[in-house]
A and B are shown apart, each in its own frame.
Chain A
């Protein structure tokens, strides 16, 4: 069976050890979590975890079933199989040096990157997009000299109920 990336959305009770339980079990069973995003929902009692893992359908079904066994897990959906929208975000700091200054300015104008902070010595950009868009941006940012970068896990939203 074909291995591919699966985006799994998990609703959980916002308990102190719920993430440890999920991460521990998946790790213990040899499944890798490739990316992870967690925060509370509109209710503080309930959190949503969006994680991505790579595997064939059978493996991913096993992971989902494992997750459903947890007392604190409310709902598990594999968004790969339903229509959904995906986003990642990067925060990136570019150091402004005299030789790169014009290049950086041009790139920001061309790609319409959002400038969060600007000083004489650095610029901080916020870029969101789906995975190909982020990868595209990273390829353009690389030659400009990335001083520091943070990339979030994938967040995803399903488009059908």
Chain B
């Protein structure tokens, strides 16, 4: 059967079970859009290409499937870069299709031409420029394969206009793709070593990360911890990979980690790190990180091993398969912790937790941001998918919202992209129309992709937006308060739109709470509506995120609180 390039693209998208494309048309993709006009594929028209990538990213994070976007060449393509880098840092499988000028014009500075494969080379897992129709089908197939296998990541496919207009014989049976991936199955010897280390450990601790969620290994990790009563801490990306309401859960570690998690890491004698890459926000000073512990690191990517923290036992393998093997080995060899030892260790952590719990003080007439998050958890009973923006809103969410299930906390961890939350929430809601999806935002970051309210309104994508409005770029202001003697250089955002009126202007509902006693009612009202709703909470202006590990300090040295005078 002879097909045009555009038809081959849409055909393969269907074969890959793509349900939805987030995109924005333009000159070089007109042919593809014309083909889409007749297609059954669902397409969401975003209002900015960055929004398309974040939406595809949110969709991928929530479903575990590959997210797809389609944009035009030149500025359309360059607008995707922040989104692609965001997905790359957090290893999220997405495929980005960009239009390109006809092959004959490439390199001529044609209208809306840019070397997008060159630009995105450092921030994609892989990218392709399709040079002729013969390679089109295999390239698209390969893009999906690369995005989802191994350590996942974004793949960009650049599609010159003339290639898409050509015709070729299409036979799915004839498409051959390279199998690039080497799957590592950890050697049994390694399992024996883990057994040995666990056997001798008096104070073991599990550290779970994004690799557990990406590797769909939450169940195995949870079983390992619960069966052998090993306490668990997690990175930001690991939230939800172990039940946040479980007794063994110690909260997030690192710069804004809990006191007890950071103390546990600093005092444990065995750290089992699964699917983490020891980011500097997690470790604090490398020299003192888990300095009393032997470290086991399980990761699918050899380049994550010994990159920042030198570990005692690296295990390269898929998190799920490795944890399964480990569980089996431990069971076969009748591993059991010494009850008194494990009891003493858990009691020690409980003591730290009692000494410095995660807390804040909701008194007076001003809403505390943490209170809004706690109320949101209460009202939804945690049955919700949360996206966040970046900054204080993100850290308070990580601290005060307990995530019990994987793929329910959707946040830009590695790159820390403001403006991620709203378009990501739109992507999540498209995947789970019956689930409550809430973007927890700050007044600064929500303005970075505010235009996507139009997308939500147009398609009746009923996302809820909770703005913790303190009139500042809160996290930057916090650093200025703590490290720059309160010189608030360009962080005051008081000049902002009236968010309620703005919501109404976009055709969605806007609600506002300015007093603590209004919080619950506004949340309930907003969440109950079958419409997109923006809820603006006027919160305490100069609240800080605590605990905080100062940059360059050990994670056991935390600033716990300050005198709050309001």
What residues of chain A have their CB less than 8 Å away from a CB belonging to chain B?
13, 16-17, 20-21, 24-25, 28, 58, 61-62, 65-66, 68-72
Q: Report B303 CB to chain A, min CB distance, Å.
A: 4
Q: Are B180 and A71 in contact (CB under 8 A)?
A: yes
Partner of B303, one of A13, A16, A24, A65: A65
Interface-side segment among B116-124, B227-235, B246-254, B500-508 = B116-124
Give Cα A69–Cα B301 distance, bound, in whole angstroms: 8
The B276-332 residues at the A interface (CB cut-off 8 A) are 301-303, 305-307, 310
Bound CA–CA A9/B134 (angstroms):
32
Shortest beta-carbon distance from B143 to chain A in Å: 10
A99 to chain B, nearest CB (A): 50
17 contacts between A and B (CB under 8 A): A17-B117, A17-B118, A17-B121, A20-B118, A21-B121, A25-B122, A58-B310, A61-B306, A62-B306, A65-B301, A66-B303, A69-B151, A69-B301, A71-B125, A71-B178, A71-B180, A72-B180
Given A13-B178, A62-B307: A68 and B121 interface contact (C-beta under 8 Å)? no
Task: Tell me if B65 is interfacial: C-beta within 8 Å of chain A.
Answer: no
Q: Does B202 contact A (CB under 8 A)?
A: no
Q: A71-B126, A71-B146, A71-B180 are in contact. Are A20 and B303 (CB under 8 A)?
A: no
Task: A58-B306, A62-B303 given; name 8 further pairs at CB < 8 Å.
Answer: A16-B129, A17-B117, A17-B121, A17-B129, A20-B121, A65-B302, A65-B305, A71-B180
* B residues with CB within 8 A of A: 117-118, 121-122, 125-126, 129, 146, 151, 178, 180, 301-303, 305-307, 310
Give the CA-CA distance A69 to B118 in the complex, in Å. 18
Alpha-carbon distance A69/B178, docked complex (angstroms) = 15
Number of A-B contacts (CB under 8 A): 38
> Across the interface, which residues of A come within 8 angstroms of B305, CB to CB?
65
Residues of chain B lying within 8 A (CB to CB) of residue A65 = 301-303, 305, 307
The distance from the CB of B136 to the nearest CB of chain A, in whole angstroms, is 16
Please tell me if the beta carbons of A24 and B122 are within 8 angstroms of each other in the complex.
Answer: yes
Chain B residues within 8 Å of A13, by CB: 178
CA distance A66 to B129 in the complex (A): 22
Nearest B residue to A67 by beta-carbon distance?
B303
B118 neighbours in A (Cβ, 8 Å): 17, 20
With most chain A CB atoms within 10 A of its CB, the pick from B125, B301, B302 is B302
* CB contact under 8 A between A28 and B122, given known A17-B117, A71-B146, A71-B180: yes
Give the 6 A-B CB pairs with smallest separation, nearest first. Answer: A65-B303, A71-B126, A65-B302, A71-B180, A69-B303, A28-B122
Nearest B-chain residue to A27, judged by Cβ: B122
A65 to B314, CA, bound (A): 13
Q: How long is the Cα–Cα vector from A13 to B135 in the complex, in angstroms?
A: 15
A29 to chain B, nearest CB (A): 9
CB distance from B285 to the nearest CB of A (A): 18
Q: Which residues of B contact A16 (CB under 8 A)?
A: 129
B306 / chain A contacts, CB cutoff of 8 Å:
58, 61-62
**Measured between alpha carbons, how far is A21 from B306 in the docked complex, in Å?**
23
Which residues of the partner chain A approach B151 to less than 8 Å between Cβ atoms? 69
Tell me how far the C-beta of A30 lies from the nearest C-beta in chain B, rounded to whole angstroms: 13
Name the B residues within 8 Å of A66 (CB-CB): 303
Write out the residue numbers on chain A whose beta carbons fall within 8 Å of the beta carbon of B301. Answer: 65, 69
Which A residues lie within 8 Å of B125 (CB)?
A: 71
How far is A88 from B84 in the complex, measured between Cα atoms in Å?
Answer: 41
Per the bound structure, the CA–CA distance linking A65 and B184 in Å amounts to 14
Smallest CB–CB gap between A22 and chain B, Å? 10
Query: Which residues in B have their C-beta under 8 angstroms from that of A70?
Result: 126
**Separation of A20 and B119 alpha carbons in the complex (Å):** 11
The residue on B at minimum CB distance from A66 is B303
- When chains A and B are docked, how far (Å) is the Cα of A8 from the Cα of B118? 25
Closest CB of chain A to B225's CB: distance in Å? 29
Q: Of the candidates B126, B302, B307, B310, which one forms a contact with A68 in the assembled complex, judged by CB atoms under 8 Å apart?
A: B302
* Residue of A28, A61, A71, A72 with most partner-chain B CB within 10 A: A71
Closest residue of chain B to A21 (Cβ to Cβ) is B121
Q: How far is the CA of A107 from the CA of B214 in the complex (A)?
A: 66
**Which chain A residue shows the least CB distance to B304?**
A65
Distance in angstroms from B142 CB to nearest chain A CB is: 8
Residues on B with C-beta less than 8 A from A17 are 117-118, 121, 129
CB distance from B126 to the nearest CB of A (A): 4
Question: How long is the Cα–Cα vector from A70 to B155 in the complex, in angstroms?
Answer: 12
Least distance between A147 CB and chain B CB atoms (Å): 36
Q: How far is the CA of A62 from the CA of B308 in the complex (A)?
A: 10
In whole Å, how far is A115's beta carbon from the nearest beta carbon of chain B?
A: 42
CA distance A65 to B308 in the complex (A): 13
CB distance from A21 to the nearest CB of B (A): 6
CB A51 to nearest CB in B, in angstroms, measures 17
Chain A residue at smallest Cβ distance from B180: A71
